[in-house]
Chains A and B, each alone.
Chain A
């Protein structure tokens, strides 16, 4: 209690400096966390490429939206092609008017790629038609749905009325952060963040199951797609596929996508990093300076504490706690902001409301904030510790004269 009173007195006497430092440090950490989120998004998209083993193949962009290039480039026409990935989507309504994307992949693609964190992945649609269709849920919108539960879904037709409805059984979940293929981007330089999009409300379903439920294929797909080569395909046959892609559009190989992603990230970092970095450095130096200043100002009080029998160690611990609390509060405010965000929104966002457009809340952010606060506090108390340690009680008291 006595120590709390001492800390309170410490703040009361230096209110302006403490409040200023608190705000400055809080804003500096916030800026850094925001940048960290941006880096997180882009590196996560790159990680997805590694996780899904997208090494040998290319992203093909059809020049015309009408031409389905997969009729030209496919395993039948080119032996070098192992598979073509062209996700199809449809929309359904679940719960109280909540929309969700149905993500449809070919069996071969489902076998190769697993967007799954918990439970089972989709298998071929060979189960009993009387049983509910098995699905894997993806994204923050399904946080409240457990594996094993059934979920009623409604498909809305073009006239706005429900044209089919079904109960689907949840067999697995892809938990946040959640990214899925998104092939809407076309250009000379496609990055990993362009071919993956954050998905907050998706239902992975087997294509055959979807057709059985809907009765007709109402799904849609972009005209762009991905091609994976057979590992044993020779260079000439690979080149033939690339030439075919070049003839009717353009393409970026996976290596190019990785290279462009790294280049873009590095260019963006070059533009954006200096400001948060400078403010972080200045805030740490300001914390060191202000802690020295406050220690100097507190000297008079320490003399009194010493005279009335307070040990030096207690004085030092009070000073350390007083300074540490400033950084701690600044760090806690930011951690609180992240937690609020984490609990109320998707971890992963790609909206213009953020400074950097794309954003991924990483668990490591909490660790970085904590480490930063600890480091800044440690550096800040080093000099005051030296000052207090150097002087004996008599010297300190004598210093007044």
Chain B
């Protein structure tokens, strides 16, 4: 308590004797904390993805080495987790003259959707009548008004053309299962983002069901990648804060240097170096916490009307009390780390030397 009191007295001394320098330093610290607060929210990629209910956080993908027979019940493997769509792809062989219409390297496969793209709100792809008919929807690249398409050496009737992607071929699910019946890729899209445990359980179930799969991708893998991205974003944010704060710490060092007499007095009345260091550290903590609090208060007060419009993401997000707590703690810790060299430097001189400086 005594240390806090002493630290506050020193801060009061700065305000009294070096008002302009102190104001500039404090304003600089507030600006730096504000920048940190802004970028902290804008690097929370995972939270934004969750707010958007991003399909990448809901997507399980199975890649098989080649077309493999698939049973209807395998399409319902993850039903208990709430599935909004299942996509199936059958790699196919097209005649040379058909391939010439497509850019080189475009993969050719027949696609089918279990729920006709309706649950995700992008459909329906096929009308209810067309779903029961054995006709395809194909890319316009195969020719406007094309009547049939030869796939794997067999002619299939075409009902419509679209521009959904280069070379796409869509088949109704029932027709797909009857005529092609094998897939090299399938994906399950859940309605909501699953918990970590459910993701792991669903992943294990897919592993058991498709032991020959070349690769099975669960949303947890995407989460890991995004978390890495988020970590690097936060590290960059921390660096920006430190560099920004460093610009103003020269002012702080000046005030520390000018207040060395305080240290001399402390030594004379029996304080050891550790106590003086503790006072200086407390001073830093109090100042950085005050600056951070100011920045947080300004940010919170004007967030809805002003600062939310400056956000880099189009997905709206809000800062929670926990976010602000993390920001406060982070800025104090970072400020302390940044100030340490300045604090050590101010303690380097012996009491006798310091006293000598002031007796000059």
Whether B32 contacts A17 by the Cβ 8 Å rule is no
Binds B, one of A190-198, A274-282, A331-339, A369-377: A274-282
Whether B103 contacts A290 by the Cβ 8 Å rule is no
Neighbour of A271 across the interface among B20, B251, B312, CB < 8 A: B312
Whether A248 contacts B250 by the Cβ 8 Å rule is no
Whether B140 contacts A248 by the Cβ 8 Å rule is yes
Whether A293 contacts B101 by the Cβ 8 Å rule is no
In the complex, what residues of B have CB within 8 A of residue A63's CB? 139-141, 144, 161, 163
What number of B residues sit within 8 Å (CB to CB) of A? 39
Does B143 make an interface contact (CB < 8 A)?
Answer: yes
Most central of B103, B243, B311 by chain A CB within 10 Å: B243
Whether B20 contacts A278 by the Cβ 8 Å rule is no
Does A24 make an interface contact (CB < 8 A)?
Answer: yes
Binds A, one of B23-31, B113-121, B268-276, B329-337: B23-31
In the complex, what residues of A have CB within 8 A of residue B102's CB? 64-65
In the complex, what residues of B have CB within 8 A of residue A292's CB? 20-21, 24, 251
Closest residue of chain A to B27 (Cβ to Cβ) is: A285
Query: Which parts of A293-345 form the interface with B (CB within 8 Å)?
Result: 293, 296-297
In the complex, what residues of B have CB within 8 A of residue A281's CB? 31
Does A146 make an interface contact (CB < 8 A)?
Answer: no
Closest residue of chain A to B106 (Cβ to Cβ) is: A65
Q: How far is the CA of A270 from the CA of B42 in the complex (A)?
A: 11
Does B240 make an interface contact (CB < 8 A)?
Answer: yes
Whether A285 contacts B163 by the Cβ 8 Å rule is no
Query: Which parts of A66-83 form the interface with B (CB within 8 Å)?
Result: 66-67
Neighbour of A286 across the interface among B21, B38, B247, CB < 8 A: B247
The answer to whether residues A21 and B247 also contact, given A63-B141, A278-B38 and a CB cut-off of 8 A, is yes
In the complex, what residues of B have CB within 8 A of residue A67's CB? 101, 143
Does B142 make an interface contact (CB < 8 A)?
Answer: yes
Q: How far is the CA of A250 from the CA of B250 in the complex (A)?
A: 60
Neighbour of A293 across the interface among B254, B310, B313, CB < 8 A: B254
Does A179 make an interface contact (CB < 8 A)?
Answer: no
Q: How far is the CA of A278 from the CA of B295 in the complex (A)?
A: 14
Whether B101 contacts A290 by the Cβ 8 Å rule is no
The answer to whether residues A289 and B28 also contact, given A267-B314, A283-B247 and a CB cut-off of 8 A, is yes
Neighbour of A64 across the interface among B18, B142, B312, CB < 8 A: B142
Does A132 make an interface contact (CB < 8 A)?
Answer: no
Does B246 make an interface contact (CB < 8 A)?
Answer: yes
What 0/1 readout, one digit per residue, does chain B (70-99) give for beta carbons within 8 Å of chain A? Answer: 000000000000000000000000000000
Q: How far is the CA of A274 from the CA of B246 in the complex (A)?
A: 20
Does B100 make an interface contact (CB < 8 A)?
Answer: yes
Does A5 make an interface contact (CB < 8 A)?
Answer: no
The answer to whether residues A282 and B31 also contact, given A293-B21, A293-B251 and a CB cut-off of 8 A, is yes
Q: How far is the CA of A387 from the CA of B28 in the complex (A)?
A: 20
Q: How far is the CA of A383 from the CA of B251 in the complex (A)?
A: 15
CB distance from B194 to the nearest CB of A (A): 29
In the complex, what residues of B have CB within 8 A of residue A17's CB? 250
Does A1 make an interface contact (CB < 8 A)?
Answer: no
Neighbour of A383 across the interface among B20, B28, B250, CB < 8 A: B20
Q: Is the contact region of chain B dominated by helix, strand, or loop, or is it mixed?
A: helix
Q: How far is the CA of A67 from the CA of B141 in the complex (A)?
A: 9
Closest residue of chain A to B24 (Cβ to Cβ) is: A289
Closest residue of chain A to B163 (Cβ to Cβ) is: A250
Whether A282 contacts B246 by the Cβ 8 Å rule is no
Q: How far is the CA of A66 from the CA of B313 in the complex (A)?
A: 40
What 0/1 readout, one digit per residue, does chain B (226-267) give for beta carbons within 8 Å of chain A? Answer: 000000000000001001101110110010000000000000
In the complex, what residues of A have CB within 8 A of residue B6's CB? none
CB distance from B315 to the nearest CB of A (A): 12
Does B347 make an interface contact (CB < 8 A)?
Answer: no
Q: How far is the CA of A297 from the CA of B142 in the complex (A)?
A: 78
Whether A274 contacts B240 by the Cβ 8 Å rule is no
Does A133 make an interface contact (CB < 8 A)?
Answer: no
Whether B140 contacts A274 by the Cβ 8 Å rule is no
In the complex, what residues of A have CB within 8 A of residue B312's CB? 270-271, 274
Whether A290 contacts B247 by the Cβ 8 Å rule is yes
In the complex, what residues of A have CB within 8 A of residue B294's CB? none
Whether A288 contacts B24 by the Cβ 8 Å rule is yes
Query: Which parts of B287-316 form the interface with A (CB within 8 Å)?
Result: 310-314
Whether A297 contacts B141 by the Cβ 8 Å rule is no
Q: How far is the CA of A66 from the CA of B166 in the complex (A)?
A: 13
Q: How far is the CA of A293 from the CA of B31 in the complex (A)?
A: 18
Does B35 make an interface contact (CB < 8 A)?
Answer: yes
In the complex, what residues of B have CB within 8 A of residue A65's CB? 101-103, 141
Q: How far is the CA of A256 from the CA of B325 in the complex (A)?
A: 45
Whether B247 contacts A20 by the Cβ 8 Å rule is yes
Query: Which parts of A225-280 form the interface with B (CB within 8 Å)?
Result: 247-250, 267, 270-271, 274-275, 278-279
Q: How far is the CA of A270 from the CA of B314 in the complex (A)?
A: 9
Q: How far is the CA of A279 from the CA of B31 in the complex (A)?
A: 11
Neighbour of B254 across the interface among A247, A248, A296, A383, CB < 8 A: A296
In the complex, what residues of B have CB within 8 A of residue A387's CB? 20
What 0/1 readout, one digit per residue, does chain B (128-171) give for beta carbons within 8 Å of chain A? Answer: 00000000000111111000000000000000010100000000
CB distance from A212 to the nearest CB of B (A): 31
Q: How far is the CA of A289 from the CA of B311 in the complex (A)?
A: 28
Q: How far is the CA of A16 from the CA of B101 in the complex (A)?
A: 65
CB distance from B241 to the nearest CB of A (A): 10
Whether B250 contacts A64 by the Cβ 8 Å rule is no
CB distance from B317 to the nearest CB of A (A): 14
The answer to whether residues A64 and B24 also contact, given A17-B250, A282-B247 and a CB cut-off of 8 A, is no
Closest residue of chain B to A287 (Cβ to Cβ) is: B247
Whether B21 contacts A64 by the Cβ 8 Å rule is no
The answer to whether residues A285 and B38 also contact, given A63-B139, A292-B21 and a CB cut-off of 8 A, is no
CB distance from A314 to the nearest CB of B (A): 23
Q: How far is the CA of A362 from the CA of B139 in the complex (A)?
A: 42
Closest residue of chain A to B252 (Cβ to Cβ) is: A293
Whether A20 contacts B246 by the Cβ 8 Å rule is yes
Most central of B143, B244, B247 by chain A CB within 10 Å: B247
Besides the contacts A16-B250, A278-B38, A282-B28, what 11 more A-B pairs have beta carbons closer than 8 Å?
A63-B140, A63-B163, A65-B141, A67-B101, A270-B311, A271-B313, A274-B39, A275-B39, A278-B35, A282-B244, A289-B25
- A selection of 20 A-B contacts at a CB cut-off of 8 Å is A24-B247, A64-B101, A64-B141, A65-B101, A65-B103, A66-B101, A271-B312, A274-B38, A278-B35, A279-B240, A282-B28, A282-B31, A282-B247, A289-B248, A289-B250, A289-B251, A290-B247, A292-B21, A293-B254, A383-B20
By Cβ-Cβ distance, the 9 closest A-B pairs, closest first, are: A286-B247, A63-B140, A64-B101, A63-B141, A64-B141, A289-B24, A66-B101, A17-B250, A248-B144
